[in-house]
Structures are given as C-alpha cells and as structure tokens.
Amino acid sequence: MELVFEIKGGDFTHAGKASSKIKKVLKQLNVDAKMIKRIVIAVYEAEVNVVAHAHNGVLRTIIGNDSIEVVIKDEGPGIENVEKAMEAGFSTASKAVREMGFGAGMGLPNIQKNADELEITSEINKGTMVRFKNYF
C-alpha cells in the first residue's frame, strides 16, 4: 500500500497529519503497538522538521507485509553538515519552533533511535531527503 502526503513549511497546525493517518493504517494491519510507536514517532519528528526547517515537502510511505518504508523529500535550505545535525542538541530552530515544543536538537537522533534503517541526503539551498525503513 502506498500513501502520499504533502507537508507545508511553517504550518504547525497540520504537522502530524501524516503520522496520524499512518498510525491508524498500521493499527488496522495489527502491527505490534511498540513497533507502531517507533514508526510514527520517527514519521512525526520528520514531519515536524519539514514544517520547522523547510518550505514544503512530500512524504511517501510504502507499507508491505513485513516492513514499512518512509521517504520525506523537501524543498528548503538543506542541511550543511548532516553528521553534525544528527548530534543530540544541535539545532538551528527559530524561537517560534521552540515555542511549539520542538527545536531542542532531539528530532534526528530520535528518528535514528526509532528507525531500523535510516538514510539522509541533503543539498544546500535545494532540499533534504530522509528515508527510513522498519521491519515489523
């Protein structure tokens, strides 16, 4: 099954729509609750990153019998140093983002923690691609 969502940069009211929908689908498929939680937390932090740091993005997920793949591609400033961005506490988030309860530099490390496989590629002034896969 394939699901596609658009994510608008700066639009905090809608962040979480994709994760919410994916959670409902995984529940219906009877995926283990702890695994669902890992997946949707990773999706949610990735969604929030597009809203917080990029202009707009598309999230695509393919849900198979024993795995899920999620790809979030955005148009935005890109990440200068991905390795550094992955460090706990590294953040360039604005005050507005921090007021929403994010922007502590914990998102990417938490995506890493919850994903079985993670790949991040980014190009400055173009955008970022986050791809991860989890096995049920």
Partner 1 sequence: MKISDIQKLTDARIVAGHSFSERNVKKAFSSDLMSDVLTLDEEDILLITGLANIQLLRTAEMADIHVVLLARNKKASPEMIQLAEENRIVLLETPFSIFRASGVLFSSGIQPLY
Would you tell me which residues interact with ligand ADP (CB under 6 A)?
A: 49-50, 52-54, 74, 76-79, 85, 90-93, 102-108, 128
Q: In the range 19-48, which residues lie near partner 1 by CB under 8 A?
A: 19-20, 23, 33, 37, 40-41, 44-45, 48
Cα-based torsion angle of the residue sequence 73, 75, 79, 83 in order, rounded to the nearest 10 degrees = 0
Nearest to 76 by CA among 131, 11, 128, 8: 128
Residue number with CB closer to ligand ADP (31 or 128): 128
Give the side-chain half-sphere CA count within 13 A for 117: 10
Tokens 């935005």 belong to 76
Task: Based on the shown chain and the rule CB under 8 A, indicate whether residue 89 belongs to the binding site for partner 1.
Answer: no
Q: In whole angstroms, how close is the CB of 112 to partner 1 at the nearest point?
A: 11
| Interface with partner 1: number of residues (CB under 8 A) | 23
**Taking CB under 5 A as the rule, which mask of x and - marks residues 46-85 in contact with Mg ion?**
---x------------------------------------
Interaction partner, residue 121 (Mg ion, ligand ADP, partner 1, none; CB < 5-8 Å by kind): none
Interaction partner, residue 70 (Mg ion, partner 1, ligand ADP, none; CB < 5-8 Å by kind): none
* Contact partners, residue 5, CB within 8 Å, separation at least 6: 17, 18, 21, 58, 59, 60
Contact indicator for 72, 116 with CB cutoff of 8 Å: no
